[in-house]
Amino acid sequence: MSTYRERLSPSGRIYLYLVLLIPASILVFAPINMLAGIICAVVLYGGSVLVLFVLSPVISVEDGMLVAGKARIPLSLVGEPEAMTGAAATMARGQRLDARAWLCIRGWIQPVVKVTIQDPEDPVPYWLISTRNPKELVAALEKADHELTS
């Protein structure tokens, strides 16, 4: 049973920027063949949008696991989560970032959640996860932890 799920897909602004591929590819192919330029533009834009969406990582809390992209960890090994926004999120991704931390961050998503790892054999001190809904992710982790301990 899933208590939280979020795809970290790019914002609409990124897809809007990709529209610039259309005139660029038409410009390149127009001297050769206008139809080829239009077909290439549509295929290039559609392929770019598809790749960005398919390769976007998924964050989920389900079945006793925290999943962030390709990484998975049992909730029993997860410590206290901390939601960060604004300057705190910027500092967590920059000056206060531990080089050993595992990152699932995206530049187009500003808030992050820092999840400490309580596995003594794991060299990773914490995960830093981008999310559009930091409070909901923290609540889902706390709820799942409460269900595990009761």
Quickly list DSSP for 93-119: HTTT--TT-EEE--TT---EEEEEE--
- pTM of the predicted structure, to 2 decimals: 0.83
How far apart (Å, rounded) are the C-alpha atoms in residues 60 and 136? 11
The residue type of 67 is V
Predicted pLDDT of residue 96? 95
Q: Which residues of 77-102 are buried (b: 16+ CB within 10 A; e: fewer)?
A: ebeebebbeeeebeebbeeeeeeebb
| pLDDT at 2 (0 to 100) | 57
- For the chain, which ranges sit under pLDDT 50? none
Task: Give SS3 for 87.
Answer: helix
pLDDT computed for residue 150 by the predictor? 64
pLDDT of residue 133: 95
Helix (H, G, I), strand (E, B) or coil at 59: strand
Q: What is the pLDDT of residue 145?
A: 74
pLDDT of residue 59: 96
Query: What local confidence, expressed as pLDDT, does residue 10 receive?
Result: 92
In DSSP terms, which residues pair with 66 in a beta bridge?
Answer: 61, 73
